[in-house]
A and B are shown apart, each in its own frame.
Chain A
Amino acid sequence: MIQLYNVSKKYGSDSAAAVKNLTLQVGKGEFLYITGASGAGKTTLLRMLYAAEKPTRGQILIDRQNVSRIRSRQIPFLRRKIGVVFQDFKLLQSRTVYENVAFALEAQGKKRYEVSKKVYQVLKEVGLEHRLQRKPLELSGGEQQRIAIARALVVDPLILLADEPSGNLDQEVTFEIMDLFKRANARGTTILLATHDHSLNQRFPRRVLTLDQGELVGDQQPLHL
């Protein structure tokens, strides 16, 4: 599903590489953690995957498409295969829960009846079907993150990228969120979750990539899987 070959990324010509010589393969339906200290290159790696950054060197293939050489006109179509979840949720505060989730489908030009059906379904799945007309700020952090996850999942993405999704949440809520990721993964969505929270891996052991100063220093499969 995702293949990286010798991928490097530098933000300036004389600055240190944010990602160095990264080569890795992620299979369809895999769930993996990307860990490392702040500045290890986790966010840069994810940003390159959804084509917000271009690698300075190397090739990235997603679903057999070469993302490192993608034209800007094709980027929207790549992103429709990828859901992204952020630490700060990135919700539209002026719109309701329903509108926030519907937005992702509308952007793809889906018909109205399709949109409403799908949005209701996915909000039910994340347990927010009773909050349709609320604005994000009226909800708790955990609920806001669930809206963001609903928005990412509503398009049935092949890949879900999550950048520190639990960074602003307490542990109980984090585990609820992890449950949502696990369920999506069980339906076949490939999941890459960047985090520095080791308790997640202890509770939900999965493959772990460890980055350090842009380099891949560890790639561990969970022992009991």
Chain B
Amino acid sequence: MLDKIRYFILRALRNMRQWPFLCSASILTMAIALAIVATFFLIVVNVEQLASRWTREIQVIAYLQKPVATQNLAALTKKLKSFPEVESVNYVSPVDAMQRFKKHLGADASLLEGVNPKLLPASFELGLYSAYRNQQGIVRVIEQLEMSLDVDDLRYGQKWLKRFNDFVHMLRFIGIVLGGFLLFAALFIVSNTIKLTLYARRDELEIMALVGATMRFIKIPFMLEGAIQGLLGGLLALAFLALSFVFVISRSLSSFWLTPTDFNLLFLTMNQQVVLVAAGVILGVLGSLSSLRRFVRI
């Protein structure tokens, strides 16, 4: 048994040495295909991360018809905080509002001198948990708000939110379509490259069958070869991604206006890196197997 395993591994390695061009073509094709899919994955993940940061600013502001009496404030705040979607509650009294306004005006604050602070409405600012920073979450908060408060007006960046929602939906759609397309193209290219490399070796396959090699005996070295090539292709793709990530993308993007200063670009997690390399191995094995069936007829 050990003798056989040893033979199969040696056979696979010797085959790779005997066909250096075909072998490197397969490895490179797999590396490129995997790198393209992984790059695309990284782009989607990072854009989504960036987008979810923008929603941090989302809050619901409820302008009240009347300021809240001091003795009721604590109870009301507690009630609002009990909404499952609400993360933080901030009461802005007319006086607070006037102060903010003044601060906003800066040097021109003197314009407000003599203005009655009570002119400005009191409001509640509700911060939401990230999972609810979307249209549905906000609608639910508003429904609950209107039942518990005398709300004069509500502000939550309606237009912006709608545009943002459309953007996220489009991003997901493009992600799925393009990602699926890329994955399909990668599979197609890899399986065709392997088919070509096997085509170049069809004599060998024919002779193997002729001298009484069983299907298993023919398949195993090719599968191993595919696995080794896939492993190397996966590692190569990972190395390429890591290097280009460190030296090109994160450096050039960090000075780019799109990314805030405290924004860290995401790279593949450890698990995702393992998945990438494993995908290479699986791609190699399946590619070899599916192509072998075409060339070996016993």
Contacts and interface: CB of A to CB of B under 8 A. Distances in A.
Interface string B128-171: 00000000000000000000000000000000000000000000
Interface residues of A, number: 25
B48 interface: no
B203 A92 contact: yes
B130 to A, nearest CB: 59
A103 B217 CA distance: 12
B267 to A, nearest CB: 42
A163 to B, nearest CB: 12
Interface string A137-156: 00000000000000100010
B217 A109 contact: yes
Contacts of B215: 72-73, 76
Interface string A71-93: 01101111110001000001110
Nearest to A148: B207
A108 B207 contact: no
B3 A80 contact: no
Contact of A107 (B3, B18, B19, B212): B212
Interface string A85-125: 00000111011000000011011110110000000000000
A111 to B, nearest CB: 7
A114 B19 CA distance: 28
Contacts of B203: 90, 92
A182 B175 CA distance: 71
Interface string B195-217: 00000000110111111111101
Interface of B (DSSP majority class):
helix
B293 interface: no
A84 B18 contact: no
Nearest to A104: B211
Given A75-B298, A107-B217, A151-B211, A92 B3 contact: no
A90 B19 contact: no
Given A90-B203, A107-B217, A84 B210 contact: yes
A72 B298 contact: yes
B6 to A, nearest CB: 9
A94 B208 contact: no
A77 B215 CA distance: 11
B4 interface: yes
Contacts of B206: 90
B298 A107 contact: no
A79 B298 CA distance: 10
B18 A108 contact: no
A153 to B, nearest CB: 12
B11 to A, nearest CB: 8
B219 to A, nearest CB: 12
Given A90-B206, A94-B18, A95-B18, A107 B211 contact: yes
Contact of B208 (A75, A91, A107, A111): A107
Contact of B298 (A76, A80, A103): A76
Nearest to B216: A76
Contacts of A90: 203, 206-207, 210
A109 B4 CA distance: 8
A111 B7 CA distance: 10
Contacts of B204: 92
Return the 4 tightest CB-CB contacts between A and B, nearest first.
A107-B213, A80-B212, A79-B212, A104-B211
Interface of B: 3-4, 7, 18-19, 203-204, 206-215, 217, 298
Given A78-B212, A79-B210, 20 more contacts: A72-B215, A73-B214, A76-B213, A76-B214, A76-B215, A76-B298, A77-B212, A80-B211, A80-B212, A91-B207, A92-B203, A92-B207, A94-B19, A95-B18, A103-B211, A104-B211, A104-B212, A106-B7, A107-B217, A155-B212
